[in-house]
Amino acid sequence: MNILLLGRGKTGSLVAEVARQRGHHIHIAGSTENEKGAALTAEKLREVDVVIDFTTPQCVVGHIEACTKAGKNMVVGTTGWYGEIGRIKVLVETQGTGLVYAPNFSLGVNLFLEVAQSAAAALHHGYSGQIFERHHATKKDAPSGTAIALQRVIHQASGNQNEIEITSFREGEVVGMHEVVLESPADRIYLCHDAKSRQGFADGAVRAAEWIAGKKGFYNFKDVWREL
């Protein structure tokens, strides 16, 4: 499969490595190569099967629009653009392309989301909840997309009208740690996912690209990861 990777950051570089290990041909376009969308013209995308985006919130929506217009499927790991999800979903479906997005492509994190969903029942039994997330000092968005996904999953599962609070920390080289704390007068429940490296993110993103190739529709990775 021919993959175009947008972004030369730490996760993007590992995605490229994993893709090559899995036998794919990959071309990388950083901000210089893709200035003003130069890498996303119909001509440049002609031989591309799937585009993977690990860039920034400021440019990802433009990337999605360009790739969708060119009829190319995408995997989007960039966060911070979810306010546009409704419009982008309509665009992808109207153009007949395929897109998988997620705040986190780690299989472990997606299992963690399901655990948190089950634990949300505690909020009906006198427990209060909090979410804590820690990432490296250079992460551009706060709270993290994964923390927001946790908040949303717990809110929907509990039927609680009040969303539980997220506290964010940016420090050092922390890859990504997410904690859910549920507390009652009698006890305290801790749920934690601690990423030891970005390997899980990269593996999941490449497997998502393999899955979306040739498909149509707008998907959240949490809804399809078990199919992988």
Residues involved in catalysis: 135, 139
Phi, psi of 114 (to 5 degrees): -70, -35
| Rounded Cα distance, 54 and 15, in Å | 9
SS3 220: strand
Helix extents (H) in the chain: 10-21, 60-69, 85-95, 107-119, 145-158, 199-212
Dihedral of CA atoms 147, 99, 50, 67 in degrees, nearest 10, equals -110
Residue 165 identity (one-letter amino acid): E
CA 173 to chain centre: 19
Length of the chain: 228
Report the candidate in 224, 223, 218 with the shortest Cα–Cα distance to residue 76.
218
- Measured distance CA(162)–CA(193) in Å, rounded: 24
Those residues with Cβ within 8 angstroms of residue 141's Cβ, 6 or more apart along the chain or in another chain: 57, 79, 80
